[in-house]
Structure 1
Amino acid sequence: MTQAQAAASATQPDPAASPGPADVHRLLGYRRTRAGESVLTLDADTTGPPVPAEVLGNFFEHMSYATLGGVCAELLLNPAFAREHHLSEEQRAELAANGRALVALHESGGDPAAVAEHWVSSPLASGFGIAILDDESAGGMPLGWSRVGPQAAVGAAVGRLGGAVRVSGQRVDRRPDTVAVDGLPAGIRQGVFLPVHRCLDYDVAASLRTRGRERAAGVVEAAVRRRLPGPDGAHRVGELLASARMRVDAPGWQRVSCRLTVPAGSVALGEPVDFVLRWLPDTHPPASLLVDRVSLLPADHVDGFDPDVVELMRRSTIPQLRWPGGNFVSFHHWRDAVGPVEDRPVYANHAWGGLEHHLIGTDEYLRLAELAGFTPHITVNSGTGTPEEAAAWVEYCNGPVTTPMGALRAANGHPEPYEVRVWEVGNENFGSWQGGYVGATENAARFARFAAAMRAASPVPITLLACGNWFDFADLDERYDHLHADHEWHDELLRLAAEQLDLISLHCLPANDRLLEQLSDAEAHEALIAQVVTAERRFVPDLLARCDAARVGTEGAPIGIAVTEWGVLGLHPNRQMVENFGAVVYGGTFLNFVMRSGDRIPMASPNGFMHGGAIKKAGGRVYTDPQFDLIQHYADFAGAVPLRCALTGPGFDVHQPADLGAPEADVPYVDALAVRSPGGRLALAVVNRHLSEALELWIELGDLAAGAAAARVSTLAHPEITARATPADPAPFSLAERDEPIDDDRLRLVLPPFSTTWVRLP
């Protein structure tokens, strides 16, 4: 045993000890046995603090398909015709490959092989959804769009606020029975997937103006046309499925609209179709048309949001949703995303590549909070932003209409203050990938300035989270010169800003590849699991002890921790990560840990809401990753009281830790959390962390059995940790439920390899 391992072993909790304010791990005592069954003994007389619902929160960042192509109902990509897409070639190739995979999936009749090898479920590229079907950017068209009619008749242009397309007029026969149905005047098109399972009506809006002739007029035809021929040539490519016309007859820019109705049964779910706009001028010689800011919305949208996503959020456990980032926030300026959506700027998403269309700003996010029922949690830009900008944002949300920002909020349609109570200052400011990254002392000083300005701007009390640094726990070397990690980050926060601190925000995001290159997949798996165990045994108690010391002699509640991003990242294809089934075991381990620590870790959110292990939307379908599903099974643990547990059983040692961990000894293969609800119901969450072996667990219930004859047992297991949900197989992970007998106040479970099991007693 190495010196580091000996130190780790020495920190094992004393099963007889009572939990202290910083000893969050002491609700679970563990004694290792070299082989055989595991035994869990419950102690109803020793309890922890109630489990806060907010540890089941989530994290919404403007990246990938989270906004456009995700929670937004908007069906068009690049609706503002931005000429520069700001994607790397790799990102654009991923989006195009996803587009081809969705087409192949439809043409194959749903064969999972169509997406098995070529599907990227969360491309980092932002502003282009999860897939693109049209790309004529090499020919000068804005990415996502292609031409209809003569190639020279359509091209990129400058529009009202930024990008646009120019469509040259062509003389056509405008008799009512021939207009724009069979002819091919110039226009634009984009392949889209319509949510025909729930909606057949689609609303079109566009900003238009004629070019070169003040009195020029005409008609713009909006249409849905067949894109693919269908099996055995059953459909004709270009077949008209729906059309409507919008009149352009005044000088200057006009915002026009119409509705398209697709006949029932004419389009299959997952079938790509073409949305087409064509220009039919009245005058001769025909004038050109500028097209800017087009929108295609299902008529059943909910204030611009996808109703399938909103309904899933309503039914899920999202008590709090952190927004708008993440790395994105360090370049985000909130004033760009308020006011009329069609008047907001479009520019590069500097954090992730692609575009930010500002379809979701403060008012939209807070409207989503009303619709879905979550508490808002806003992160401000302390990288490239200023304390004054952050304070103005707080005033916009919380100030009365008599304040400048309160008046702006009222002008934007919401006179009453939102009263947002949870605010986070900055995101990962320690890393060189972040806009405005800084060192420990500057971060602490900056937080103090932001905190003072933000508190002064809010008439209601607010909770402030400071940017913490998980890397500050680890022993790092020159491979980490891209971040600040010299073990002084948190000490500087406590030295310069302890009186302003409510919570320190940490990101628990170990990588499945970095530092684990020489390990087998089984060894890497154990290193990733042990990273959470080390956090519970040492990292978090040590930080909380320092927080408590900084508050000695001062008033106010103890400083706590919020883990505002968690989950396994990395690119190793054979190992667990947030998007595959491996997240079920890491996630169960992590949630058990934070639920044992509710008094000091009152908030947590995974990576992420519509990126990472999340809600997915592709080809008109909405589905979920196993990490998202796992969290839902913990819903009834919120508000319950954890019980003291003593565990004996086999375990393992970790010599080479994950990048956010440390060497660790005596890590149990079984992890368990027991809680009692306010109504007296007993529930347990049990994780088998062994990669390949089923494990036997005996649970000694004692008086907690309360005469029950059986327990309800639900297990989430799968033979492959790398398995994922896809558009072809959106629900591959079923919950196995059964009743297990209780004999002499003892319950026997056989836990499948790499699984999480929930036990509930009446």
Structure 2
Amino acid sequence: MLNASLHVDPADPVAPVHRRTFGSFVEHMGRCVYTGIYEPGHPAADPHGFRRDVADLVRELGVSTVRYPGGNFVSGYKWEDGVGPREQRPVRRDLAWHSIETNQFGLDEFMTWCRDLGIEPMMAVNLGTRGLAEALDLLEYCNHPDGTHLSDQRVANGHPAPHDIRMWCLGNEMDGPWQIGNLDARSYGRKAAQVARAMKTADRDLELVVCGSSGSSMPTFGEWEATVLEETYDSVEYVSLHAYYEEHDGDLGSFLASATDMDAFIDSVTATADAVGARLRNPKRIQLSFDEWNVWYLSRHQAEAAVQPTDDWRVAPRVIEDQYNVADAVVVGNLLISLLRHSDRVTAASQAQLANVIAPIMTEPGGPAWRQSIFHPFALTARAARGQVLRTRLSTPEYATERHGTVPALDAVVTHDDQDGSTSLFVVNRSTDQHLTLDADLSAVAPGAVTDAQTLSDEDPYAANTMDAPDRVVPRPAKDVRLADGRLTAVLPPVSWSVITLSPANG
């Protein structure tokens, strides 16, 4: 049995919990859109063609924002193709994912879907094959009230009120050689700065996200951020981060410690952004948008892509539909802990993606929708994390990993809501074979009772949900959780993620 302790001080909060932390991502890739969130003719489809069963799961997931329409897809996308009468919309080749795009779901459909679900849109502009003029056209169509050529087109298309999109991504992964129209850092920075300045001339209150590195393993990581921010610092609010994690060669211990890499990634980008600001003598603080993150078995996808035919162009093919297990869910829960821990700088995030494609929600065309294992830590964290993120001091055993060196066996974060006095503890036991007893000193937040305690774990860390067994992996009531005199004790099983919520003593 391992033993760890935790202490919090509400007088020293990290930052507020940002609702934008619980964002998601919808890209025209595989079956994310078609037969994912949108399937006319499905028994659960509404009059717009949106799947009601998927919409219900999105509400349960607690998604706050959705980034759209990509991703790699956006770098070859003509937004005009996806508006207006459907029978007049052109069918195009999508070079990013080697598929056929029918354009039956486009900008206006996305905005209608967002409004129906109370989701804030996060729109990406094409800076791969397009640039300044097209970005301004898209902005005019979306945000100008009426009385101009493109705003009147939107009105004629059945949307008299402006879409009023506030948050915009200036391209996607523009450092990647896989990206259509990719650029070197200086060229991209200048292009993004030009577009940003013009967009804010048209609409001064926009929040703009400039592309950071596609990942911390990119050879230009760090240098890319510094160069791009030198060009764009005055014009943008955010720099993006992207990271995906997977288990390699049965190394479960390293995989469970993936959040240590996310922590280091965030700290590095923060330091780079602040160094550029200091060099420019600019007091502004650039925020971080972690707008692609998840578990993704990328090496498996690359191996499959290497043997796939290159002349088979299909509509909404099944691609990277990873089936997630218990260990994957524990890692996703831990990545959310990392994002919350860095809420002073990470103020927006998007789990990629929402449906079918490396997603928490799976669907079958004409059939059911179900929750993957990774659905649960996201939904429970989005529901329970409120108020302020508290600075959490941990004393924990460590273990050695091949990929990340020596890492803590326990990771945790605590949030506290001053308005209702509730406290939530999110905690992971990374040990692959030992239970861990946690002693948490929460006396400073004066907890009165445990109102809920749930753990996601299983004797088989590779158990997964399927269409035929959609509830094989679900959170269950946590055992051995006790509260006395402001101290919480809990026994955490190996390879587990838990959430414990507490009401105030006077509640």
Distance 1:39 1:549, change over 3 A: same
1:574-594 deviation digits (Å, cap 9, x = unpaired):
xxx783332322212211122
Letter in 2 for 1:38: A
Q: In 2, Cα distance between the equivalents of 1:45 and 1:672?
A: 18
Query: Does 1:641 pair with 2:370?
Result: no
Following superposition, the deviation at residue 635 of structure 1 comes to: 2.3
Letter in 2 for 1:570: Y
Aligned partner of 2:416 in structure 1 is 676
Tell me, yes or no, if the aligned pair for 1:711 and 1:742 is still in contact at 8 Å: no
Query: Does 1:652 pair with 2:399?
Result: yes
Distance 1:680 1:523, change over 3 A: closer
Letter in 2 for 1:699: A
Following superposition, the deviation at residue 470 of structure 1 comes to: 5.1
Following superposition, the deviation at residue 626 of structure 1 comes to: 1.7
Following superposition, the deviation at residue 637 of structure 1 comes to: 4.0
Letter in 1 for 2:28: H
Following superposition, the deviation at residue 349 of structure 1 comes to: 2.0
Aligned partner of 2:466 in structure 1 is 726
Query: Does 1:686 pair with 2:427?
Result: yes
Query: Does 1:624 pair with 2:353?
Result: no
Aligned partner of 1:612 in structure 2 is 358
Report the more deviating stretch, 306-315 or 422-431. Answer: 306-315
Tell me, yes or no, if the aligned pair for 2:185 and 2:227 is still in contact at 8 Å: yes
Q: In 1, Cα distance between the equivalents of 2:277 and 2:430?
A: 33
Following superposition, the deviation at residue 709 of structure 1 comes to: 5.1
Tell me, yes or no, if the aligned pair for 1:547 and 1:558 is still in contact at 8 Å: no
Following superposition, the deviation at residue 428 of structure 1 comes to: 0.8
- Aligned pair partner of 2:261 in 524, 528, 531: 531
Q: SS at 1:413's partner residue? A: coil
Aligned partner of 1:760 in structure 2 is 501
Query: Does 1:465 pair with 2:209?
Result: yes
Following superposition, the deviation at residue 664 of structure 1 comes to: 4.4
Aligned alpha-carbon RMSD (Å): 2.3
Q: SS at 2:467's partner residue? A: coil
Higher relative contact order (CA 8 A, sep 6+): 2
Q: In 1, Cα distance between the equivalents of 2:30 and 2:57?
A: 19
Aligned partner of 2:187 in structure 1 is 442
Q: How does 1:155-554 map to 2 (within 5 A)?
A: 195=43, 301-458=46-203, 461-469=205-213, 471=215, 473-474=216-217, 485=220, 487-513=222-248, 520-526=250-256, 528-535=258-265, 538-550=267-279, 552-553=281-282
1:542-566 deviation digits (Å, cap 9, x = unpaired):
2343254256345xx4211000010
Q: In 1, Cα distance between the equivalents of 2:189 and 2:384?
A: 35
Query: Does 1:750 pair with 2:484?
Result: no
- TM-score, normalised to structure 2's length? 0.88
Q: How does 1:53-64 map to 2 (within 5 A)?
A: 53-64=19-30
Following superposition, the deviation at residue 305 of structure 1 comes to: 1.0
Which protein shows a greater Rg? 1
Query: Does 1:563 pair with 2:282?
Result: no
Q: In 2, Cα distance between the equivalents of 1:465 and 1:572?
A: 28
Letter in 1 for 2:227: E
Tell me, yes or no, if the aligned pair for 1:447 and 1:497 is still in contact at 8 Å: yes
Q: In 1, Cα distance between the equivalents of 2:411 and 2:172?
A: 31
Query: Does 1:698 pair with 2:439?
Result: yes
Following superposition, the deviation at residue 725 of structure 1 comes to: 2.0
Tell me, yes or no, if the aligned pair for 1:568 and 1:578 is still in contact at 8 Å: no
Q: In 2, Cα distance between the equivalents of 1:316 and 1:511?
A: 22
Aligned partner of 2:315 in structure 1 is none
Following superposition, the deviation at residue 523 of structure 1 comes to: 4.7
Aligned partner of 1:41 in structure 2 is 7
Q: In 1, Cα distance between the equivalents of 2:98 and 2:460?
A: 32
Following superposition, the deviation at residue 331 of structure 1 comes to: 0.9
Distance 1:43 1:371, change over 3 A: same
Letter in 2 for 1:308: D
Distance 1:532 1:394, change over 3 A: same
Q: Which runs of 5+ in 1 are unaligned?
A: 1-34, 76-193, 199-299, 475-482, 658-662
Distance 1:670 1:578, change over 3 A: farther
Tell me, yes or no, if the aligned pair for 2:2 and 2:434 is still in contact at 8 Å: no
Following superposition, the deviation at residue 528 of structure 1 comes to: 3.0
Q: In 2, Cα distance between the equivalents of 1:402 and 1:631?
A: 43
Q: In 2, Cα distance between the equivalents of 1:512 and 1:48?
A: 31
Aligned partner of 2:457 in structure 1 is 717
- TM-score, normalised to structure 1's length? 0.60
Distance 1:419 1:436, change over 3 A: same
Q: SS at 2:127's partner residue? A: coil
1:515-553 deviation digits (Å, cap 9, x = unpaired):
xx6xx52354256343124235x4244234325425634
Letter in 2 for 1:502: E
Q: SS at 2:343's partner residue? A: coil
Q: In 2, Cα distance between the equivalents of 1:466 and 1:66?
A: 24
Q: SS at 1:722's partner residue? A: coil
Tell me, yes or no, if the aligned pair for 1:428 and 1:467 is still in contact at 8 Å: yes
Q: How does 1:95-174 map to 2 (within 5 A)?
A: none
Q: In 1, Cα distance between the equivalents of 2:207 and 2:438?
A: 41
- Identical pairs, percent: 30
Distance 1:650 1:703, change over 3 A: same
Following superposition, the deviation at residue 629 of structure 1 comes to: 2.1
Q: In 2, Cα distance between the equivalents of 1:571 and 1:608?
A: 14
Distance 1:671 1:547, change over 3 A: farther
Tell me, yes or no, if the aligned pair for 1:330 and 1:381 is still in contact at 8 Å: yes
Q: In 2, Cα distance between the equivalents of 1:415 and 1:44?
A: 47
Distance 1:722 1:550, change over 3 A: farther
Following superposition, the deviation at residue 699 of structure 1 comes to: 1.0
Report the more deviating stretch, 522-531 or 332-341. Answer: 522-531
